[in-house]
């Protein structure tokens, strides 16, 4: 960004003062108009309650449970910026009128923190900022936060069949939230997190400044790669390092009914999945399947191998023969086809475009854990019993090791690296709306989580920010002190929480960017 833009930003700032006032739609809109271009038509990108599009934009469809939330104020406006100047205007006008902001990219936040708030607020929705530019020669890409992972994967595959990017499995997830919370998928063992492969970023801070990596400095650049973007500013775009993938990869899905034999296989999986070759990722999903099978609880071994079948089979025979993998279980394909396969989509890469890739829309609640020692076999017997009582439940276990073990816990805010065997996501879904139904299912999940306590990481029990869980604690709308917030902060970030709070104090000393789990200011 040019020096003259920075200077212009600073001049504009002089006119801004913080006031706490009850503000009308019109006041906010006219502030936006004055900031951007006095003659520009704001109805192109600012939507208030009196406008027809407003209601369809208010709530995200990804987890309707959140619309039952107590955080149920409606936003005064939804700003859908088309450039960084409109983001800056939204930030500065919100400050001027005493409003909070919520930033939404893909809208998948598990607790709806990107579009819900208890007090007067504005949503900055990044959906219009979704361009992707791939430079295959340089093996990099710039991707705007409003793009989805599916769009990113598609754009890379359009340019090259031997490049990819190691981010999450669900194509409808937004780049903005995903990268800023860490982000992992089927290449995590080979290439680490999405955030590990970010090399630059472009952000608008609370003062309305436009900052790239050089201008923001290494502390802030560190913080936004895993510490959650919403505490620090609005990230407009990210520069990523693409990774190399072979022209042919191999995938398999092996289903097993949960029984004594499968329990043995799971036991072996726990002991080998994290130390197999980095090219091999075998995730384990325990789930309740809706059909007439005698054993409705099943274990699914779902795998991506960055190589051909002829190389996979000897590897499996040597290190994980208990699974009994057969060539007929496997399929060879291109990396982009494997993305579709993992997402449960047909073999057409165009399906990765747009927001229509989400087959998972339902009421849900999730929690997470990290496992550092194999869990005793009896626990999986008990889990099967518990799943039979609940249905529509999933325990998704992603193996770490490989590249993840080579990166230090302090390298980025995401600290769950060496010594982690795998991550668990517990997920319960339901289809009936209503507080009573929600409470029943959430209660069940909390009981399962309680039951798992002795078998997972301890002191504190760790969790993954991108599987956000307000049960871990909230900071009272961003008003909690550092020493109080440490209770949940260290669960997500271990010792990195302190550095995050220091960066927060430096970049946003007035704590403008805050929410129920934002990073607090540091106390000396
Ligand atoms: P959303 O827009 O709701 O943002 C999430 C958080 O980031 C909010 O706090 C928001 O304010 C903030 N934020 C968003 N954009 C920002 C920006 N531009 N600047 C600053 N702050 C910003 N995770 C994973 O690691 N691997 C996986 O495979 C999956 N799979 C998956 C599937 C499904 C169906 C869901 C619902 C979720 C996942 N996730 C996941 C979790 C996912 O990574 C997590 O929910 C991300 O935060 C979602 O990012 P979005 O941009 O979609 O959400």
Tell me, in angstroms, the distance from the centre of ligand 1 to residue 194's CA: 12
pLDDT of residue 59: 66
Cα distance between residue 116 and residue 297, in whole Å: 35
pLDDT of residue 361: 64
Q: Which of 464, 467, 482, 492 is catalytic?
A: 467
Q: Report the atom number in ligand 1 closest to the C-alpha of 112.
A: 3
Contacts of 450 (CB under 8 A, 6+ apart): none
Which residue puts its alpha carbon closest to atom 25 of ligand 1? 183
Report whether 357 contacts 171 (CB < 8 A).
yes
Which of 519, 518, 515 has its CA nearest to residue 119?
A: 515
Q: What is the pLDDT of residues 371-399, one digit of tens each?
A: 999 999 999 999 999 998 888 899 999 99
Contacts of 390 (CB under 8 A, 6+ apart): 288, 428, 441, 444
**Helix, coil or strand: residue 160:** coil
Cα distance between residue 77 and residue 120, in whole Å: 10
Cα distance between residue 74 and residue 76, in whole Å: 6
- The residue whose CB lies within 8 Å of the most ligand 1 atoms, and thus the one to mutate among 103, 126, 463, is 103
Determine the angle formed by the axes of helices 84-96 and 25-36, rounding to 10 degrees. Answer: 140
The DSSP letter of residue 174 is: B
Contacts of 43 (CB under 8 A, 6+ apart): 51
Which of 151, 148, 139 has its CA nearest to residue 336?
A: 151
Cα distance between residue 141 and residue 121, in whole Å: 33
Which of 186, 183, 192 has its CA nearest to residue 235?
A: 183
Cα dihedral value 111, 113, 118, 124, nearest 10 = -150
pLDDT of residue 69: 60
Which residue puts its alpha carbon closest to atom 41 of ligand 1? 466
Report whether 153 contacts 182 (CB < 8 A).
no
Q: What is the pLDDT of residues 304-357, one digit of tens each?
A: 999 999 999 999 999 999 999 999 999 999 999 999 999 988 878 888 886 654
pLDDT of residue 336: 97
Buried b (16+ CB within 10 A) or exposed e, 251-284: bbebebebeeebbebbbebbebbbebbbbbbbbb
Q: What is the pLDDT of residues 449-501, one digit of tens each?
A: 999 999 999 999 999 999 999 999 987 777 778 888 999 999 999 999 999 99
Residues of the chain with pLDDT under 70: 1-22, 37-40, 59-64, 66-72, 290-294, 354-361, 524
Cα distance between residue 281 and residue 264, in whole Å: 19
Tell me, in angstroms, the distance from the centre of ligand 1 to residue 299's CA: 26
Degrees, nearest 5: CA angle 450-454-460: 85
Which residue puts its alpha carbon closest to atom 30 of ligand 1? 170
Which residue puts its alpha carbon closest to atom 16 of ligand 1? 176
pLDDT of residue 62: 65
**What are the structure tokens assigned to 494, written together?**
């271990």
Q: Report the atom number in ligand 1 closest to the C-alpha of 233.
A: 20
**What are the structure tokens assigned to 332, written together?**
């060879």
What domains appear along the chain, each with residue ranges and CATH number?
3-125 (3.30.43.10), 249-333+362-467 (3.40.462.20)
Q: Report the atom number in ligand 1 closest to the C-alpha of 181.
A: 47
Tell me, in angstroms, the distance from the centre of ligand 1 to residue 17's CA: 32
pLDDT of residue 17: 36
**What are the structure tokens assigned to 330, written together?**
């496997």
Mean pLDDT of the chain: 90
pLDDT of residue 163: 98
Residue list, ligand 1 pocket, CB within 6 Å:
62, 102-110, 113-114, 126, 145, 168-170, 173-174, 176-178, 180-181, 183-185, 228-230, 234-235, 360, 466
Tell me if residue 467 is catalytic.
Answer: yes
The distance in angstroms from the start CA to the end CA of the chain is: 34
Contacts of 506 (CB under 8 A, 6+ apart): 219, 220
Cα distance between residue 452 and residue 101, in whole Å: 36
- The residue whose CB lies within 8 Å of the most ligand 1 atoms, and thus the one to mutate among 178, 424, 504, is 178
Tell me, in angstroms, the distance from the centre of ligand 1 to residue 231's CA: 14
Cα distance between residue 192 and residue 189, in whole Å: 6
- Which helix (H) or strand (E) segment is 394 a member of? strand 393-399
Using the structure block, give the residue that is written with the tokens 């339901």.
Answer: 430
């Amino acid at each position: 960004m040019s020096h003259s833009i920075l200077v212009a930003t600073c001049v504009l700032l002089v006119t801004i003062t913080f006031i706490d006032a009850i503000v009308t739609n019109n006041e906010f809109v006219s502030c936006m108009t004055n900031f951007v271009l006095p003659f520009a038509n704001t109805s192109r990108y600012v939507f208030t309650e009196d406008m027809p599009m407003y209601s369809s934009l208010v709530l995200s469809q990804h987890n309707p449970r959140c619309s039952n939330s107590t955080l149920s104020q409606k936003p005064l406006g939804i700003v859908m910026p088309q450039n960084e100047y409109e983001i800056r205007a939204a930030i500065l006008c919100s400050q001027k009128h005493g409003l909070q902001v919520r930033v939404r990219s893909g809208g998948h936040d598990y607790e709806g923190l990107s579009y819900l708030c208890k007090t007067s607020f504005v949503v900055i929705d990044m959906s219009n900022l979704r361009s992707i530019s791939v430079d295959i020669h340089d093996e990099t890409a710039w991707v705007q936060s409003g793009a989805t992972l599916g769009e990113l994967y598609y754009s890379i595959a359009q340019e090259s069949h031997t490049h990819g990017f190691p981010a999450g499995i669900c194509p409808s997830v937004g780049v903005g939230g995903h990268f800023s919370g860490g982000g992992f998928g089927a290449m995590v063992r080979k290439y680490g997190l999405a955030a590990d492969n970010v090399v630059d970023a472009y952000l608008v801070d609370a003062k309305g400044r436009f900052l790239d990596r050089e201008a923001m400095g290494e502390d802030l650049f560190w913080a936004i790669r895993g510490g959650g973007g919403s505490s620090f500013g609005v990230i407009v775009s990210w520069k990523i390092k693409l990774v190399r993938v072979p022209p042919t990869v191999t995938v398999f899905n092996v289903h097993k009914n949960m029984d004594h034999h499968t329990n043995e296989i799971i036991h072996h999986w726990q002991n080998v999945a994290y130390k197999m070759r980095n090219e091999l990722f075998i995730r384990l999903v325990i789930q309740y399947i809706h059909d007439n099978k005698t054993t409705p609880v099943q274990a699914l071994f779902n795998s991506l191998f960055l190589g051909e079948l002829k190389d996979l089979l000897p590897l499996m025979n040597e290190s994980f023969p208990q699974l009994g993998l057969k060539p007929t279980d496997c399929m060879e394909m291109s990396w982009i086809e494997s993305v579709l396969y993992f997402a449960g989509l047909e073999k057409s890469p165009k399906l990765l475009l747009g927001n229509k890739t989400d087959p998972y829309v339902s009421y849900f609640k999730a929690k997470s854990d990290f496992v550092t020692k194999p869990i005793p076999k009896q626990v999986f017997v008990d889990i099967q019993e518990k799943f039979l009582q609940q249905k529509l439940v999933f325990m998704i276990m992603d193996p770490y090791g490989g590249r993840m073990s080579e990166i230090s816990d302090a390298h980025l805010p995401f600290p769950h690296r060496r010594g982690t065997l795998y991550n668990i996501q517990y997920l319960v879904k339901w289809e009936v709306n209503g507080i009573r139904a929600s409470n029943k299912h959430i209660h069940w999940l909390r009981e399962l989580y309680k039951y798992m306590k002795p078998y997972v990481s301890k002191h504190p029990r760790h969790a993954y920010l991108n599987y956000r869980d307000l049960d871990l604690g909230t900071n009272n709308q961003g008003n909690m002190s550092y020493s109080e917030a440490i209770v949940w902060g260290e669960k997500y970030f271990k010792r990195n929480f302190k550095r995050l709070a220091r960066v927060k104090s430096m970049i946003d000393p007035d704590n403008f960017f805050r929410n129920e789990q934002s990073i607090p200011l540091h106390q000396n």
